[in-house]
């Protein structure tokens, strides 16, 4: 089993050194988070908690994922990078295609685009984008990205985007993997139909076997069972060797080490983060990878 270190909400000035440490101790990669703003008055309930409340607030850090990933990639050589989850329908696919291609080339194909539809209506309202159509918009953006990354001149005429004979350069040397998130029926279908992997939002160990079965069945339905597919899950239970081993046997390919603010419940020093990652590596990475 592989393991990713979440670097969401942490102190931005420590990101580069945390990436160095993550590579040093054996993590597969690091994942940040993506929100473009935090509204002072938020009415949208958080869909992944029982009470609709989210643990982040207006002080939580959300650095630009392209800039932060480039900085971390510059000081590492094997570590992979992704964002969990990049809110795809807020952006224009041309901009995404160019940024992702550039990052893929400059990191020697260590970048994965992990995308989702978003859940915070206030972000869409401030961008002037219809919240209700975000799923369809996401599906179309994924289609456009594959076109822009894979062809010379591109035509596209869809519901949201229209292009006549355009190209975006640089073009990646190989297809950039796309992981998608979300656990709704539509989200699971999207992952099975269009993605190279799926990222969980935080699941109990008991939920994982059924999710793996659903994804496997959907991938078979779409004729994609033979293609490589990653499943990256953060568990709501404390990390446990036997749990990871059991879930690996049912199809979970990667686990997640919690974001540091959830571990320490406060700001933490670089030394504290190093000790935590070294301990995690000793207990799980060295025994399971």
243-263: per-residue pLDDT in tens?
999 999 999 999 999 999 989
Structural tokens at position 162: 């229209």
pLDDT at residue number 30? 98
162-218: per-residue pLDDT in tens?
999 999 999 999 999 999 998 899 999 999 999 999 999 889 999 999 999 999 999
The confidence band for 42, taking pLDDT boundaries of 50, 70 and 90, is confident
CATH number at residue 81: 3.20.20.30
What mean pLDDT do residues 233-245 have? 95
Total domains in the chain come to 1
User: Which residues, at least 6 apart from 35, have a Cβ–Cβ distance to it below 8 Å?
Assistant: 56, 62, 87, 120, 123
116-173: per-residue pLDDT in tens?
999 999 999 999 999 999 999 999 999 999 999 997 899 999 999 999 999 999 999 9
| Domain that residue 104 falls in | 2-288
8-37: per-residue pLDDT in tens?
999 999 999 999 999 999 999 999 989 888
User: Which residues, at least 6 apart from 133, have a Cβ–Cβ distance to it below 8 Å?
Assistant: 89, 159, 160
Residue 53 pLDDT exceeds 80: no
Residue 51 pLDDT exceeds 90: no
Give the bridge partners for 254, in sequence order: 2, 232
């Amino acid at each position: 089993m592989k393991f990713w270190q979440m670097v969401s909400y942490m102190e931005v000035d420590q990101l580069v050194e945390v990436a160095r440490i993550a590579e040093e101790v054996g993590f597969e990669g690091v994942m940040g988070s993506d929100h473009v703003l935090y509204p002072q008055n938020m009415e949208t309930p958080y869909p992944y908690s029982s009470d609709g409340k989210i643990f982040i607030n207006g002080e939580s850090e959300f650095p630009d994922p392209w800039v932060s990933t480039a900085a971390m990639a510059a000081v590492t050589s094997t570590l992979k990078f992704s964002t969990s989850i990049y809110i795809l329908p807020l952006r224009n696919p041309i901009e995404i295609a160019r940024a992702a291609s550039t990052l893929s080339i400059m990191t020697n194909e260590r970048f994965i685009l992990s995308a989702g539809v978003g859940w915070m209506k206030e972000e869409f309202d401030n961008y002037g984008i219809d919240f209700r159509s975000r799923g369809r918009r996401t599906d179309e953006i994924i289609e456009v990205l594959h076109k822009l990354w894979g062809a010379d001149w591109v035509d596209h005429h869809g519901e949201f985007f229209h292009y006549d004979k355009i190209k975006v350069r640089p073009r990646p040397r190989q297809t950039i993997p796309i992981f998608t998130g979300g656990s709704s029926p539509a989200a699971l279908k999207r992952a099975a139909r269009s993605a190279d992997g799926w990222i969980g939002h935080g699941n109990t160990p008991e939920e994982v076997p059924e999710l793996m079965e659903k994804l496997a069945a959907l991938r078979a339905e779409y004729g994609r069972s033979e293609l490589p597919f990653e499943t990256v899950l953060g568990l709501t239970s404390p990390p446990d060797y036997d749990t990871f081993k059991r879930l690996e046997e049912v199809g979970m390919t990667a686990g997640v080490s919690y974001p540091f603010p959830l571990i320490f419940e406060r700001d933490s020093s670089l030394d504290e983060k190093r000790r935590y990652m070294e301990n995690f590596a000793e207990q799980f990475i060295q025994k399971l990878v």
